Structure formats: structure tokens, C-alpha cells
Structure 1
Amino acid sequence: MRCLKKWIWTVFLSLFLLPAGAQEQADTTYTFRFKTGKDMFYVPWNGNDGELARLEACVEKYKTEILGGRMPLHVDGYCCSQPTETENLAMARIRSNRVKSELIVRRELTEECFVTRNHAAEGDFVTVRLTVPVKETAVTDTDAKARCKAEAERLEAEKRAEQERLAEEQRKAEEARLAAEKAEAEKAAQQNTFADTPSETKITTDYHLSLRANLLRWATLTPDLGLEWRICPSWGIAVNGSWTSWTWSDKDRRYALWKVAPEVRYYMGEKKAWYLGAMFKAGQFNYKLSETGKQGDLMGGGITAGYRLRLNKALNLDFNLGLGYLNADYEKYEVIDGVRVCRGNETKDWWGPINAGVTLVWKIK
């Protein structure tokens, strides 16, 4: 009877404790994370302290079996941040040793308590796995696989995010480079346009000496030359001179003159193309285009205005017109048997246009 009662109580207690044992879920895999490129084990970082506390509790629970070699701790180190497989394995080994050293110091374990493997694989972490009896790990093994899968998915998501960030930074850098090249090309094209356009595009800032030739004078077979000195961008001093002497019909007809015309100019506007000036003119003439000739002196002056059209870096066209006063003091004469015979003196005053020109300007200095 006593044996029967003992057997019944044994069955009863077994049935009572079986569900409780089935519900006990001791974690058997613990993950410790490391910073990318680093081998130092930071216990307070990224949840490592919580994992270490849980692992210590488990080690304490099975310490006798661990020290006896019946339940070794499986340590796996992972690293993929180094350039070569050898360097990845070396860093994974250091990380594994850091975790083992922490357990040896804290829980008085030995190197023989561990089975260590290192991997040049994706990730920066170390796992510690404790193999416990099947009845206690039926649930925890599934949890460990789920945790490993979740960790792998997290690492994959972080890798994709990092790749997307790098691609976006590269795209922005390429766009910035193309924009800078485009701006530089537009600036160079604009500068080339300024240099080559036949119109005045920029202010003359250099001081130079120019040679001048009035093309209208040359068209009337009257050679005309002059000089202009730009003493600054806004002011210039010019002087033109003309001379000619033509005879025909056995010297019975004559066209001869000389004159000089100094001028002071003030250039205006942003491009310094328009100008106003003051001119003085003096010379002598001898015209005999009919039976009566005129020979005398010419003097006067007035204001001038004009525009300079830029042809290239060295050449300009100067369009100008002068208004003012001229005085001509001359004598009339006839030629009889090759002798000039005076027919009287006259003086004439003139108010109106006193000068016109289309002048080619060549910068020589």
C-alpha cells in the first residue's frame, strides 16, 4: 500500500511539474555587438550589458556542467569590415577573445570551457551559444534561429540604407560637378564673346596710343593721318593732319591744302564708346578749279561728337561730326601767260559743319 501511495504521488507531482518545465524558456544564444572597424568590447553599448547579464545568469546556473566540460560555451566571432579575409578573421578572433576574457574574469571560467570559431562573414558581432538539454531548449532553439534571422535582416537593411546613402551622395556630387563645369563653360564662352564681338563690349581700361586715318579724306585724294593718346578711360587727346597738292591742265588748275586739327575728347557711358570733344583747326589752301583761284588761310574751331565701333582688339571705326565756326582770309587771282594776277582780297565766316569723318583707328601701343 505504501508503495502504491508513493507511486501515485510521484505521478501526480510529475504531471503538476511537467507544464511548468515546458514553460521555462532559458535563452541559449547571446549576441554582443561591436562598432564597425573596432575590436574593443564596449559592455554598456547597444544592449551588450543586458545580454551579458543574461549570459552570466545562465553560466551561473550551469557552471558545474560548464567547468566539467559537459556543456561548453560555443563562441562565434564575425567581421566583414576589413579589406581582406585574413584581416576579417584576425579581427573576429580578437573580438571573440574579448568576450571570453570578460566571462573568465567575471565567472571564473577557463579557456577549456569554450569552443571558438571565427568567420569572415557579414556582421560585426560575437555570439555565445550554450547547448542545454533538449527538454529545456525545445523552445529556445527556435527563438535563437528567429533572433539570428532578425539580426541578419537588420544587417541587410542597414547595408541597403548605407548603399542608398552613398549612391545619393555620389549623385549629388556628380550634379554639383556638372553644374560647376557648365558655369565655367558659360563664363568662358561669355569672355570669348566679349573678346571677339565687333561691338564695344567692355570699358577700355588701358592707356594707349593710336594711329588715325580719315577715310573720307583719303577718298578725296587728300592724305590724312593723326594720333590719339588715351590718357585715361574717359579722356583722350587727338590730332589729325591733312596735306595734298594736285595740278593739271598744264598747271592752270590746282587743288592744294594743308591743315591740322587738335582735339580734346571726353568718352562717356559704360562702354566708353560715345564721346564729346572740342576741336581747333588751322591751315592754308589754294584752289583754282575755274578761271579764278583762291589762296589763303583757314582758322576756326567748334565742338565734336562721335561714336567708336570696335572691330577687334586693335582696330576701331570712329564716326564723328564737328559743328562750329571757320574764318577764311584769302586773295583771288588769275593766271595770265603763266603769271598770277591778284584780283582782290576777301574774308568769309562760316557757321555750321566744320568737320566730318569716318576714321580708321589702329592701336599701336
Structure 2
Amino acid sequence: MSRKITFLTLFLWLMTVTFPVIAQQKTDTTYTFRFVPQKDMFYVPWNGNDTELARLLECIENSKATIFDGKLPLLVDGYCNSLGGEAENLATAKIRANRVKSELITRAKIKEENFITHNHATGGDFVIVRLTVPAKETAAMDAEARRKAETERLEAEKRAEQERLAEEQRKAEEARLAAEKAEVEKAAQQNTLANTPSETKITTDYHLSLRANLLRWAILTPNLGVEWRICPSWGIAVNGSWTSWSWKDKDRRYALWEVAPEIRYYMGEKKAWYLGAMFKAGQFNYKISETGKQGDLMGGGITAGYQLRLNKALTLDFNLGLGYLNADFEKYEVIDGVRVRCGNETKNWCGPINAGVTLVWKLF
């Protein structure tokens, strides 16, 4: 009994001392690539194959020198048992192993002589790749991999920070250029408006103007008016005329007064054209021949016109009015300096009732 106890104690001590040494000698690193049953295509993203391939490529990269020297072969085992016969399974297992090797040859530049291949008609539908790496080397590779990963992380953070700073600088430069461009365009627009001919500028910069119809002044009928521009599209104008002339010892006479309010609607992009509605009322006394006429007139109609800007203060207004006028008057003759009534008469007129070339002076 004492011998058995002594032998068991010695055996346990040997296992305690020997197993760590053996464990430190070599470490098997295994990678499994799965295939669709009865198929030989190697689908990398399928069923975790992409993760296994990434791990295997990293391991190969860390041990590439040893692998190329032939000291560390890649053990490739192809398996297939989903077909009908052993020959078919072995053939498919071989193709599967070759597809995995081709992927490694393409990606990691491994050569055919760096592989040891075995094919099996049992087990399942997969390919196993094993590397027998010494434990110390594995630890060194792990440390190197961690160091490399940390270095790559720091470099990635540095690149990200540089890209962020570059993006902020680019946006700031774009904002600066946009502000400069907007300032230049604003200055150019102001300069263009300042140098544009008056008729091309929209009349939005005044509210009240003084008016004088030059045609009325030309026929010795002084005319004045005002216009209130409510907004760029609407305006209200009131024009008035008055004259009183006599000659040949008052045997000849030309006297008139009238008031014509008008509302206008300005059209177009430049607000230069307009349409309006006008009302006219007044009195007259004409004696150009032997018979004189004295009475009242009243009417109204539609006006239309165009305003030509001369400068910031002056505008020429060309207008024409069409409509209806009614004149109710008395006829008279002058005998020995005395007016003698000859009768009454009423006339109606349809057609032009107003025309003008009006000088407009902006007050404010």
C-alpha cells in the first residue's frame, strides 16, 4: 500500500513538472472554414468564414518569415461526407482544400510548398488549417499584435484628429469665401443700381411727388398735381388746371379750371407701365369767334402710360386717357361790351379725354 501511495505521489509530481514544459513547447492554432453541403465553393463572408480568415491571415503575417523558411508548415485538412460515395467525397474535399489554399496564396502570398494537405471522406463539410507555433513565439506574436494594434489605433486617432481639423479649416475657409463673395455681390449690385439708367430702376424709393403736364403749359393752361405712391404697385394722383385769358378789349376769352383725380396700378418688373381710372370735372368759358360758350364739364375714363426715369429726382410720365365727357353750356355774344345769351346746348364726347407729357419731381 505504501508503494502505491509513493508511486502515485511521484506520478503526480512528474505531471506537475512535465506538463507545463510540454505546454510551453508548442501550441496548435486551428482555423475552421465551413462549406455548404455538397458544394465546393469557398464563401468567405458565409457562416463566420470571414472572421476565421482574418485571424488566420494575422497569424500568418506574424509568422511569415518562419513559414517561408519551411519551419512552420500550414497543415490543411479537407473534409466532405455529404456526397454519395467515398471517391466523390475525397474529390470534393480536395477541391475545398485547394480553394482555401488559393485564398491564402492570393491574400498572404503563401506558396504551395508551405502547405501539407490531407483530404478526408468523413467528418463533415469543412476545411481545417493548423499552425503548430511554439508557445513563446505565440506569446511574442500576441505581444507584437497588441503593440501593432495599439500603434494602429493611435495612428487612426491621429489621422481622425487631423481630418477633423482639416475639415473645420475647410469649412471656415468656405464660410470666409462665401462672406467675401456675398459682400462683393452686394457692392456690385449697389453699384449697378446706382449706374443703371433711371427707366430700368423700379420706382419704390418715394412716396409723394409733384407733377406738371408740359402739354398743358404749352397751350397756356398751367397744370399742377401730386401723386401719392401707396406701394410699388399702386398710386393716387390728383391733377388740376386753371387759366384765364382775354384780349381785344375782352371780346376774346379763354378761361378754364378742372380737377382730375386718378388711381393707378403699376405693372411689370420695373413698375414703369401703368393703367388707371380717372374722373374729371370743371368749368370753361371760350370765346374765340363771334359766339362764346360757358358751362360745366364732367366725365371719366381709363388712362394708360409709361414713366421714364431721368435721374433720382425727375421722371417723365407719358399718358393718354380714353373715356366719356359731358359738357352743358350756354352760348352768348358780346354786344357793346355786354354779354347777350343766345341759348343752351349739351354735348357728349367719347374718345380721348386727356393727354400729357408730365414732368414728375420726387419730393420725398
TM-score (norm 1): 0.49
